[in-house]
Chain A
Amino acid sequence: MSIGKLSSWGRYPRFPQTGHGIGWRSELPGELARVSAEHGTLLPFGNGRSYGDSCLATSDQVLHLRPLDRFISTDWQTGIIRAEAGVTLDEVLRLAIPRGWFLSVTPGTKFATLGGAVANDVHGKNHHVRGSFGCHVRRFGLVRSDRGRLEVAPGDADGLFAATIGGLGLTGIIDWVELQLMPIKSSLVDVVNIRFDSLDEFFALSRELDGQHEYAVAWIDCAARGASAGRGIYMVGDHAPEGGLAYDDKPKLSVPLVPPISAINSVSLRVFNHFYYNAAKPGRHPGRVGYEPYFYPLDRILHWNRIYGPKGFQQYQCVIPESAGGAAIGDMLDAIAAAHSGSFLAVLKRFGDVASPGLLSFPEAGATLALDFPEHGDATAKLFANLDAIVRAAGGRIYPAKDAHMGGEFFRACYPQWTQLEALRDPALCSRFWKRVTQA
């Protein structure tokens, strides 16, 4: 089940991966032993939604777990489900929504797998209420090259539970996950969109309203400069109290091929951002929308990552601690606007202080900013170096799941607990990311 090569979502850096398909859980120990004997190390691979090189094996050999997509058990009284690691969040929603349940935490794509969601300890628009994905994982199965098959629950003596949540797939192959879902009365979301003109205004809105709503996030016009810098739209949402429980199965658009050059450039960016901002009128505007457009706007367009052309793109996501305030975010937006770069979907959110069980988990209380940048070689590297300096000075850190550039010394300073993960790493597993940040 691995015809053709696999690549990361950002398609940068370009290291095509050879996938060894796993159709049954029983094949895992054998395949892990066989591929590692042949190639030294390898890595598990889900549905290819990690942006950077954390999903790329140093050997370019991966166990492809997407075909491992069976549900094992479901309890619709308690909302506890157990499923194989290759099941996508979309496949969970397909079963859960009609029965009145939703993912307790969902990232901005429903095409991530359960294994990937655990390995990257993903977060969503309700981090300030429910923490990260790992906060809702009850237990999981892990297959290690040195210890065989394990069932891992919170508080295990080895510390494998904590190390695996946000562990970037390095502690063993996650083969199933048991998850606590969240009850909903409707698949619709009540939203309020509020336009803001400055970062100060955003932080004031966030402090006033985040606590009153399940979901809160902001879109930032990263092309705006001068007086309009820091403008954007703050969006809060809550699952509607009524309106039906419908799984959304609308047909999708698709980007069928990679255009010869990136469709994202400084002109298309300014035009889009200008119209997007001005489409929202001043004031507070309530509405009711389906969960799909609310949580997964980009999933409507299959293969949207291709619009960045053959060179691919990088995502930059950092978190700036609450204590450092909003100044660093402003400095970053200035640097991005000055570089005439940035993305349609620049996202700003304030994380809450719900602790993750994960050892190397990314979220911490503070403001997180995420933007996509078309890959432009030196120009991108220079901009990222400027952004890194701002993040470092503010005591912030970068999200490994999205990263393809962070220096090893920067990573080790931000994540000193990396040595504990290294000690628990399965000797047969290693990623290009891990090699880059621990050995360079």
Chain B
Amino acid sequence: MKNILIVGATSAIAAACARRWCEGGARFYLVGRSADKLRQVADDLSARGAEVHTCELDLNFLESHASLVREAFAWLGRVDVVLVAHGTLPDQKACEQDAELAIREFTSNGLSVISLLTHLANPMEAQGSGSIGVISSVAGDRGRPSNYLYGSAKSAVTAFCGGLRARLFKAGVNLTTIKPGFVDTPMTRGLPLPAPLVATPEQVAADIAKAMDAGKGVLYTRWFWRYIMLIIIHIPDRIFRKMSM
């Protein structure tokens, strides 16, 4: 029986991970913004035999993070698995015209994750066990003109996780930075994505569960994104600036 905290539990990737974890027996503390969707995810996991508690919360309300972590630990007791999966896909063009919107999106995808992990790290360190998965993105590997607001927030998350991982490792806590590429989810619906590169949430969830079990530091999912990004980050800037990817 695993005790699992999922933040952003209504995301397609998080829900697919939760179903996998159900199979070994699980107690879930689910956090999400929409009460209606949270209930639907909770009903599904309950039907699959899990014990579920839900907490409706807008993660942009950073002041709530301390009590969220406290209450999750109180309900779960020991915390074996944490998945931080909340986020949005900002409209880059709109963010270029509206600095307030840009900051709000940066908060959703970057600052709120950093705030939450800061609150979470201390009790996990004290507990001395457990595995944390944080969903960053391949977009954080290099700022690209098509989505550099999102990319910069994820870049901050990736860097933060790199340092936190090294700190928590000494306490026996693992942290996996998860970098999905294209995934077929409601968040990416309507985008003209190249079909061969698009993974299902179930494939990504299988990768995540395996990487977290193995205590892997950084996960690219699907695996080929490691090599795609390797090429992208090595494109010389004088060429890159002419591209519009």
Contact among B185, B189, B195 for A4, CB-based, below 8 A = B195
Return the CB mask of B48-66 against A: 1 if under 8 Å, else 0: 1100000000000000000
Return the CB mask of B78-106 against A: 1 if under 8 Å, else 0: 00000000000000000000000000000
Contact among B44, B185, B186 for A71, CB-based, below 8 A = B44
Cβ of B233 < 8 Å from any Cβ of A?
no
Which A residues are in CB contact (< 8 Å) with B14?
A: none
Cβ of B198 < 8 Å from any Cβ of A?
yes
User: Which positions 1-55 of chain A face chain B at CB distance < 8 Å?
Assistant: 1-4, 21, 23-26
Cβ of B37 < 8 Å from any Cβ of A?
yes
Cβ of B149 < 8 Å from any Cβ of A?
no
A23–B195 Cα distance when bound, in Å, is 19
A74 touches B186 (CB 8 A): no
Return the CB mask of B22-63 against A: 1 if under 8 Å, else 0: 000000000000001100110110011100000000000000
Which A residues are in CB contact (< 8 Å) with B186?
A: 1, 21, 23-24
Cβ of B125 < 8 Å from any Cβ of A?
no
A73 touches B198 (CB 8 A): no
Known: A21-B186, A23-B186, A70-B40. A3 touches B48 (CB 8 A): no
B47 touches A1 (CB 8 A): no
Known: A23-B12, A23-B186. A95 touches B195 (CB 8 A): no
A83–B44 Cα distance when bound, in Å, is 9
Cβ of B184 < 8 Å from any Cβ of A?
yes
Which A residues are in CB contact (< 8 Å) with B43?
A: 70-73
Q: Least Cβ distance of A311 to chain B in Å?
A: 23
B36 touches A26 (CB 8 A): yes
A67–B186 Cα distance when bound, in Å, is 10
Contact among A1, A25, A73 for B189, CB-based, below 8 A = A1
A1 touches B48 (CB 8 A): no
A2–B47 Cα distance when bound, in Å, is 26
User: Which positions 154-185 of chain B face chain A at CB distance < 8 Å?
Assistant: 184-185
Which A residues are in CB contact (< 8 Å) with B195?
A: 3-4
Q: Least Cβ distance of B38 to chain A in Å?
A: 11
User: Which positions 194-217 of chain B face chain A at CB distance < 8 Å?
Assistant: 195, 198
B40 touches A2 (CB 8 A): no
B48 touches A71 (CB 8 A): yes
A1 touches B41 (CB 8 A): no
Return the CB mask of A78-93 against B: 1 if under 8 Å, else 0: 0001010000000000
Known: A21-B186, A25-B40. A3 touches B47 (CB 8 A): no
A81–B44 Cα distance when bound, in Å, is 11
| Nearest residue, chain A, Cβ from B192 | A3
Which A residues are in CB contact (< 8 Å) with B12?
A: 1, 23, 67
How many chain A residues sit at the interface, stated as a range, is 10 to 19
Q: Least Cβ distance of B81 to chain A in Å?
A: 21
Q: Least Cβ distance of A360 to chain B in Å?
A: 31
Q: Least Cβ distance of A31 to chain B in Å?
A: 10
Which A residues are in CB contact (< 8 Å) with B185?
A: 1, 23
B36 touches A95 (CB 8 A): no
| Nearest residue, chain A, Cβ from B41 | A70
A72 touches B47 (CB 8 A): yes
A24 touches B40 (CB 8 A): yes
B37 touches A70 (CB 8 A): no
Which B residues are in CB contact (< 8 Å) with A23?
A: 12, 185-186, 189
Contact among A21, A24, A74 for B47, CB-based, below 8 A = A74
A23–B183 Cα distance when bound, in Å, is 14
Q: Least Cβ distance of B223 to chain A in Å?
A: 19
Q: Least Cβ distance of A81 to chain B in Å?
A: 8
A84–B186 Cα distance when bound, in Å, is 17
Cβ of B193 < 8 Å from any Cβ of A?
yes
A273–B108 Cα distance when bound, in Å, is 62
Which B residues are in CB contact (< 8 Å) with A72?
A: 40, 43-44, 47
Max chain A CB contacts within 10 Å: which of B44, B49, B185, B193? B44
Q: Least Cβ distance of B221 to chain A in Å?
A: 16
Which B residues are in CB contact (< 8 Å) with A74?
A: 47
A95–B152 Cα distance when bound, in Å, is 42
B189 touches A2 (CB 8 A): yes
Q: Least Cβ distance of A376 to chain B in Å?
A: 30
Which A residues are in CB contact (< 8 Å) with B40?
A: 24-25, 70, 72
A70–B39 Cα distance when bound, in Å, is 11
A329–B217 Cα distance when bound, in Å, is 64
A4–B192 Cα distance when bound, in Å, is 10
B44 touches A1 (CB 8 A): no
Q: Least Cβ distance of B139 to chain A in Å?
A: 18
Query: A residues touching B (Cβ–Cβ < 8 Å)?
Result: 1-4, 21, 23-26, 67, 70-74, 81, 83, 95
- Sorted nearest first, the 8 A-B pairs with minimum C-beta distance are A71-B47, A70-B44, A23-B186, A74-B47, A4-B195, A3-B198, A3-B195, A71-B44
Not counting A1-B184, A67-B12, A95-B47, a sample of 15 additional A-B residue pairs whose C-beta atoms are within 8 angstroms of each other reads: A1-B12, A2-B184, A2-B189, A3-B195, A23-B12, A23-B186, A24-B186, A25-B40, A26-B37, A71-B43, A71-B44, A72-B43, A73-B47, A81-B47, A83-B47
Query: B residues touching A (Cβ–Cβ < 8 Å)?
Result: 12, 36-37, 40-41, 43-44, 47-49, 184-186, 189, 193, 195, 198
9 A-B interface contacts by CB (under 8 A)? A1-B12, A1-B184, A1-B189, A3-B193, A24-B186, A25-B40, A70-B40, A72-B40, A81-B47
